[in-house]
């Protein structure tokens, strides 16, 4: 397996560094999947990381001036590496003024991602900085664990308020409870709630808007399959559905909610340096909160499981 890439454009290098820095705030370790067209940073939802999942997708053509790879085989043309994003972030931060940065999969004392930066100089003597970042090559038999997570059949999809505003609210609420209730509806309304025996605090956001695909929840399952649905009212429709049952229309003002670990949400908000053009949230009632950040050339998905 072989991989090498080169970044010359300073704006691309800075953007790539910000993406890696964001990922380093979300997880200590993750999987880097390299394909001919994309780079993926993957965190699978295991008990060891509290059930949190992450999927970050980058188009290599938008970052690298040169990009070459040979995967496991012509049929499985991928490379999967376990990396420590913090180490990668530290190395990239030392290259911000570089004339060019090269990234290569090498074999030193162990497999490494070797980052070589050609730094500017006033003399004729070149300055080159090299970082060897240890990685672990993931065997082919384990690749199935690091595929893109399936998007749940959410009940509500809503645009998020400004992330900095949301972070300030969550930071203050963290002092009151370890858990936070996120709820939203199809009227573009979202509430962040703290409820304890001593205090009840709610922050309201209005007129956030709902993504086009979120106007009607695309449920393929009965709402009952997601557990208690007291807050999601199903209204009988006038028409019959294709399967002969009564068609359903959803009350747009009804709130869908999920109770999550506030530290996991805070961690997501603290690390954001992607400057997304769109930030969205899908909620499966009492099951999961699915956060999505979209940029021109980056998409980041983060799944926080609900707690009882």
Q: What is the pLDDT of residues 242-255, one digit of tens each?
A: 333 322 346 888 99
Q: Where are the alpha helices (DSSP H) in 52-173?
A: 85-93, 163-173
* Positions of the chain with pLDDT under 50: 217-249
Q: Look up residue 220 and give its two tokens.
A: 């393929």
Rg of the chain over Cα atoms, rounded to whole angstroms, equals 22
Q: What is the pLDDT of residues 52-65, one digit of tens each?
A: 999 999 999 999 99
Q: What is the pLDDT of residues 93-141, one digit of tens each?
A: 998 888 999 999 999 889 999 999 998 887 777 789 999 999 999 999 9
Give this prediction's pTM. Answer: 0.84
| Residue 305: closest CA among 44, 71, 111 | 44
Name beta bridge partners: 59: 38
- Positions of E strands within 2-83: 2-7, 30-34, 38-43, 53-59, 66-70, 79-83
Q: Tokens 């557990």 — which residue?
A: 227
Domains and CATH numbers, the chain: 2-145 (3.70.10.10), 156-214+252-305 (3.70.10.10)
pLDDT score of 240: 35
């Amino acid at each position: 397996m072989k991989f090498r890439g080169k970044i010359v454009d300073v704006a691309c290098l800075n953007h790539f560094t910000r993406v890696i820095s964001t990922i380093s705030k979300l997880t200590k370790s993750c999987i880097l999947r390299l394909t001919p067209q994309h780079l993926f940073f993957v965190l699978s939802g295991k008990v060891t990381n509290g059930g949190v999942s992450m999927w970050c997708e980058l188009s290599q053509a938008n970052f690298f001036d040169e990009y070459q790879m040979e995967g496991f085989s012509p049929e499985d043309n991928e490379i999967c590496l376990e990396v420590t994003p913090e180490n990668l972030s530290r190395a990239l931060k030392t290259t911000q003024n570089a004339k060019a940065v090269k990234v290569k999969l090498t074999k030193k004392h162990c497999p490494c991602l070797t980052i070589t930066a050609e730094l500017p100089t006033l003399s004729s003597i070149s300055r080159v900085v090299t970082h060897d970042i240890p990685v672990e090559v993931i065997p082919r038999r384990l690749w199935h664990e690091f595929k893109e997570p399936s998007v749940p059949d959410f009940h509500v999809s809503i645009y998020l308020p400004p992330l900095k505003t949301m972070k300030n609210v969550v930071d203050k609420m963290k002092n009151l409870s370890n858990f936070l209730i996120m709820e939203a509806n199809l009227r573009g309304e979202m509430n962040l709630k703290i409820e304890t025996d001593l205090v009840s605090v709610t922050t309201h956001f209005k007129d956030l808007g709902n993504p086009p695909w979120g106007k009607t929840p695309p449920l393929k399952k009965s709402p009952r399959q997601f557990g208690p649905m007291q807050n999601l009212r199903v209204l009988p429709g006038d028409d019959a559905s294709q399967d002969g049952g009564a068609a359903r229309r959803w009350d747009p003002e009804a709130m869908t909610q999920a109770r999550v670990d506030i530290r996991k949400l805070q961690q997501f908000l603290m690390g954001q340096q992607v400057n997304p053009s769109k930030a969205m949230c899908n909620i499966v009632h009492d099951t999961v909160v699915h956060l999505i950040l979209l940029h021109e050339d980056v998409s980041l998905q983060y799944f926080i499981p609900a707690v009882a």
